[in-house]
Structure 1
Amino acid sequence: MSVTILAIESSCDETSAAICTDGKILSNYIANQSVHEKYGGVVPELASRAHMQNIVPVVKAAIDTAGCSLDQVDAIAFTQSPGLIGSLLVGSQFAKSLSLALNKPLIAVHHMQAHVIANLIEEKKPSFPFICLTVSGGHTQIVVCESPTQLRVIGETIDDAAGEAFDKSAKLLGLPYPGGPLIDKHAKEGNPDRFQFPEPKIPGLNFSFSGLKTSILYFLQNAGTSLVYKEEFKASEQERYDFIQNNLNDICASIQQRIITILLNKVKKAAEETGITDLCLAGGVSANSGLRKAFEEMGRKKGWNTFIPAFQYCTDNAAMIAITAYYKYQERQFADLSTEASARAEW
């Protein structure tokens, strides 16, 4: 029996809808919100208002592109958590309304689970069990995936996420929002060994990026003379500006290399401890070209199989919600109208 899922993603500042039939993505439409650029970050109230404006045309575009109708949809899926609560509410209430109006099952999807399962969208798929490094602006996790619906976190950040480290570093460098992709761009032209930043000594498989951010802050405040704060090292505003402008590519390359080595050293440890050799990358930061290249190179050197979703499935998108919902549909994991959106729900 053929199964068609309409999925909605609205966890942050992208409004997205997708159609999936029997595990194949037929459409994946995304509306971005440029309104946040002048504020240097996502403004929750503005994000939820933009979702309300975008959701109807985005859903219509996804249905039209897939060449189907609402009558042909077998279930409605939505992102339940985590995310900005106002944004999540727009998507969840719209999905509930459709489910009620069409008398179709409702499927609630955890955003981070969906990032992992995005690795099952394309033809080249990992074998179970596999390890997934999930890296985004709000999360950094190592997940063991036993099946599409059985996942467990074996490592995660104890403070800041890797994506936040990228974006905050970019802000310190005076780069516009979103800064993470700009660090990646400048890093391609720089020397990653020019400046040395510390790697946190965190036991086990957990991550920490708060100390690295502090080191980068002091490094820039001191115009490259020290990684620790000392009043005598503190440079003038003009000296800091000149230092950054004259060394921007090398600074970006050095910051990016340290973040990548922190991530991959933990993934190596996880693979060695578990014996799992199918490794996946997921989340918005997996679009970083430096990380993708280093991840694949690690796999080649170790003889491990590596998998990375296409760029369109790395950042927030409804296709990953749809493919996750498709597997949940097989196991009849349906939600009801009392299901609530949550900013920080566990999975």
Structure 2
Amino acid sequence: MNKKPIIIGIESSCDETAVSIIKNRKVLSNIIIHQNIHRKYGGVVPELASRLHDKNIPIAVKKAIFLAKIKIKQLDAVSFTIGPGMIGSLLVGSSFAKSLSIGLNIPILTVNHIQAHILTHFIKNANINNSYPKFPFLCLVISGGHTQIIKVNDFFKMKVLGSTLDDSVGDTFDKVARILGFHYPGGPMIDTFSKNGNYKKFIFSKPLVNGLNFSFSGLKSNILQLIKNKLKKNPFFINENKSDLCASIQRTIAEILLEKVQKAILKTKICRIALAGGVSANHDIRKMFILFSKKNPKYEIFIPKKIYTTDNGAMIAITGLFKYEKKLFDSIDVHPFSKFEIF
């Protein structure tokens, strides 16, 4: 076995076609092809996503190999997302990975999408402070499909401490964005408009959920009700208050997330906290966690650089690298799962 294996990672769980090549924890190439066609439908269309993955993966692999300045025969293993995600998209990625594995006679490594987001923190220079978190640490995974607090004891020893009982935080952002008239994906639009808004302008109720679980359905209803009531009196209410609404909504969500993480810290006595997932790119959430750390120096905060927050191949490749080092190879007969938990 090579001391410094070269691993290719293929990510196709949703609407991002992503391929990356890693060696010695260093990213040699990281290609992401965005499927912008879904915007006009207001959300990801599974069949369209699958077709575009089928078209884009060979292009992304070829480009990743070229930019990594290696030959395809130098690859030691191929890793790919096995779940969770959209089954059609996952099948396209797994089929390509299996073909590559057979053609090059190299092992395959299946990767759990959520684990991969967490292990992004172990890519060289992936964090804004260019350091790795020590075990154990708490990870807040926030994305379009997931909102979880996970205790990370080792690369492959993790325990979910809390999850959303209804909508994910990313889905909440997108649904609220539609109310405000933004196109899909709406989360980044709320983030952009919030920068010029007053987060104290509107007060929204926070859900009372016991333990470390989350709930966002009540918050969405509260936002919708406020906007409906205001529109009855002023049909231009949204346009006249868009930035303030975005700032107020975003700050409420950021506070909910931070308050739950603080509870997890008190419960576990763990002072190392990491953020992961697409919503961790949100500037207000990042700012609040950084400020929390500055006010409490004993708490270490690990936040990925924005390129590593959304779905990407590098997180799949780094997870594949750790599995390769532990000889955790998979059978060619494995099949993807739309819902997949291994914690």
- TM-score normalized with structure 2 length: 0.96
Q: What is the CA-CA distance between 1:321 and the residue it aligns to?
A: 0.5
2:131 maps to what in 1?
124
Give the aligned residue type for 1:260: A
Q: What is the CA-CA distance between 1:345 and the residue it aligns to?
A: 1.1
Q: How far, CA to CA, are the matches of 1:218 and 1:171 in structure 2?
A: 14
1:293 aligns with 2:300: no
> SS at 1:134's partner residue?
strand
1:97 aligns with 2:104: no
1:232-311 alignment, distance < 5 Å: 235=232, 239-240=234-235, 242-303=236-297, 304-311=299-306
Give the aligned residue type for 1:90: V
Do the aligned partners of 1:9 and 1:79 also contact (CA within 8 Å) in 2? yes
1:228 maps to what in 2?
none
Give the aligned residue type for 1:115: H
Q: How far, CA to CA, are the matches of 1:223 and 1:336 in structure 2?
A: 58
Do the aligned partners of 1:7 and 1:19 also contact (CA within 8 Å) in 2? yes
1:112 maps to what in 2?
114
Root-mean-square deviation (Å): 1.0
Counterpart pick for 1:170 among 154, 170, 177: 177
- CA deviations 1:266-314 (Å, max 9, x no partner) are 0011112111111100000001111111111111112211111111100
Q: How far, CA to CA, are the matches of 1:28 and 1:16 in structure 2?
A: 7
1:24-103 alignment, distance < 5 Å: 24-103=26-105
1:344 maps to what in 2?
339
1:313 aligns with 2:312: no
Q: How far, CA to CA, are the matches of 1:263 and 1:70 in structure 2?
A: 43
Q: How far, CA to CA, are the matches of 1:67 and 1:343 in structure 2?
A: 34
> SS at 1:185's partner residue?
helix
1:150-189 alignment, distance < 5 Å: 150-189=157-196
Q: Provide the aligned length of Structure 1 versus Structure 2.
A: 334
Give the aligned residue type for 2:253: I
Q: How far, CA to CA, are the matches of 2:183 and 2:159 in structure 1?
A: 36
> SS at 1:169's partner residue?
helix
Q: How far, CA to CA, are the matches of 2:261 and 2:230 in structure 1?
A: 33
Do the aligned partners of 1:78 and 1:107 also contact (CA within 8 Å) in 2? yes
> SS at 2:148's partner residue?
strand
Q: Which runs of 4+ in 1 moved over 3 A?
A: none
Give the aligned residue type for 1:201: L
Q: How far, CA to CA, are the matches of 2:285 and 2:220 in structure 1?
A: 18
Do the aligned partners of 1:5 and 1:322 also contact (CA within 8 Å) in 2? yes
Give the aligned residue type for 1:39: Y
> SS at 2:59's partner residue?
helix
Q: How far, CA to CA, are the matches of 1:301 and 1:119 in structure 2?
A: 23
1:324-339 alignment, distance < 5 Å: 324-339=319-334
Do the aligned partners of 1:149 and 1:327 also contact (CA within 8 Å) in 2? no
Give the aligned residue type for 1:295: F
The answer for unaligned runs of 5 or more in structure 1 is 225-234
1:190 aligns with 2:172: no
1:17 aligns with 2:19: yes
Give the aligned residue type for 1:16: A
Counterpart pick for 2:208 among 201, 213, 220: 201
The answer for unaligned runs of 5 or more in structure 2 is none
Q: What is the CA-CA distance between 1:124 and the residue it aligns to?
A: 0.8
> SS at 2:230's partner residue?
coil
Q: How far, CA to CA, are the matches of 1:338 and 1:315 in structure 2?
A: 29
Give the aligned residue type for 1:256: Q
Q: Percent identity?
A: 50
Q: What is the CA-CA distance between 1:6 and the residue it aligns to?
A: 0.8
